[in-house]
């Protein structure tokens, strides 16, 4: 095991992998409802973009027994959180779950405050500006502003991308509380043993960049040909960490422009959002 081992955290953000509820249920936490956790894991099975899933596929994703999954999907369908397709014997997300997602987005003060300021930077700098959060070992886009010229590089709101697959996550990782970051890295190591040395190197490089420049840098790669800068959005202690990123196709956004222009403007944007959030909280 690497030096990234950390003590378990007793907070909501530790639910990183399907099946974590088994460990929680065996702990001293008497308030934890295992049946509810299993049902939510079933709903999470669709978060990877799958439109239709059968019970066997859901069981494989969640690592739950198929008989348990069958009871859960039936119950969730009766409640409207899943819709059943009889011809294919598969389920799709229902409207009840959609309502929860939109309510969660609307309830985030950082998103409401940041959106107009993000739009302004996107228009004046010619970049795509995103607000992202961590969801287990992925990052999720919760707001996005950018010009039509970058339409091919834009992603839908709610899109989840693995922390290890894109430089967009660097600005988020550096903002995680120390214990939480170590916990995330330990899980990443377990899942990515072969790629772990490079992942670890990238994380500590991002930490050094953030300390030196105030933001992280990504030159893009074959899978995600976007050059980007990112930084965490300072929030109240104990609140969910979010991050700001600004990106564009790497052929249009050279590294020197990232460092000289886009990074400092993103730092300025973060400061303005932080000030506005403080005003909202005080009102």
Per DSSP, 3 falls in state T
pLDDT along the chain (283 residues), means of 10: 44 48 56 84 81 93 92 95 93 85 77 92 92 87 75 70 78 89 86 88 92 90 77 74 89 87 95 87 72
pLDDT at 5: 45
Residue 233 DSSP class: E
Confirm if 159 and 195 have CB atoms less than 8 A apart: no
**Are 227 and 220 spatial neighbours (Cβ–Cβ below 8 Å)?**
yes
Cβ burial 125-147 (10 Å sphere, 16+ → b, else e):
bbbbbbbbbbbbbbbbbbbbbbe
Tell me if 81 sits within 8 A of 43, measured CB to CB.
Answer: yes
Domain residue spans of the chain: 12-99, 108-282
Q: Which CATH superfamily is domain 108-282 in?
A: GAF domain (3.30.450.40)
Q: Which residue has the tokens 């004046």?
A: 124
Dig out the tokens for 88 from the structure: 């294919």
DSSP-based three-state secondary structure for 264: helix
The continuous run of DSSP H or E covering 70 comes out as: helix 66-79
pTM of the full structure: 0.77
pLDDT recorded at residue 206 = 92
d(CA 121, CA 105): 21
Structure confidence at residue 6 (pLDDT): 44
Q: State residue 1's pLDDT score.
A: 40
| CATH code that applies to domain 12-99 | 1.10.10.10
Backbone angles phi, psi at 18, to 5 degrees: -55, 135
Which one-letter DSSP state was computed for residue 53?
B
Which of these, 171, 183, 274, 272, lies nearest to 214 by C-alpha position?
171
How many Cβ atoms sit within 10 Å of the Cβ of residue 50?
Answer: 15
244 strand-pairing partners: 131, 231
Contact assessment for residue 94 and residue 75, using Cβ atoms and an 8 Å cutoff? no
What is the model's pLDDT at position 138?
84
Q: Which two tokens stand for residue 207?
A: 């930490």
């Amino acid at each position: 095991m690497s030096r990234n081992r950390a003590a378990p955290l007793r907070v909501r953000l530790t639910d990183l992998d399907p099946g974590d509820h088994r460990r929680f249920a065996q702990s001293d936490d008497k308030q934890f409802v295992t049946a509810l956790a299993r049902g939510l894991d079933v709903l999470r099975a669709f978060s990877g973009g799958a439109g239709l899933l059968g019970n066997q596929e859901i069981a494989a994703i969640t690592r739950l027994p198929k008989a348990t999954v069958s009871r859960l999907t039936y119950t969730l369908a009766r409640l409207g959180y899943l819709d059943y397709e009889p011809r294919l014997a598969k389920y799709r997300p229902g409207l009840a779950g959609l309502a929860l997602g939109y309510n969660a987005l609307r309830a985030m003060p950082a998103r409401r405050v940041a959106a107009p300021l993000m739009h302004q930077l996107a228009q004046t700098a010619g970049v795509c500006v995103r607000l992202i959060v961590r969801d287990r070992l992925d990052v999720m886009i919760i707001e996005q502003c950018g010009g039509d010229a970058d339409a091919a590089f834009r992603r839908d709101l709610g899109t989840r991308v693995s922390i290890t697959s894109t430089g967009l996550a660097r600005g988020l990782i550096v903002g995680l509380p120390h214990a939480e970051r170590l916990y995330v890295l330990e899980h990443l190591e377990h899942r990515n043993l072969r790629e772990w040395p490079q992942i670890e190197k990238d994380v500590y490089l991002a930490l050094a960049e953030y300390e030196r420049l105030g933001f992280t840098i990504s030159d893009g790669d074959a899978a995600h040909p976007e050059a980007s800068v990112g930084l965490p959005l300072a929030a109240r202690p104990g609140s969910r960490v979010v991050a700001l990123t600004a990106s564009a196709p790497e052929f249009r956004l050279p590294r020197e422009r990232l460092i000289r222009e886009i990074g400092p403007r993103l730092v300025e944007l973060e400061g303005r959002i932080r000030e506005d959030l403080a005003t909202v909280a005080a009102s």
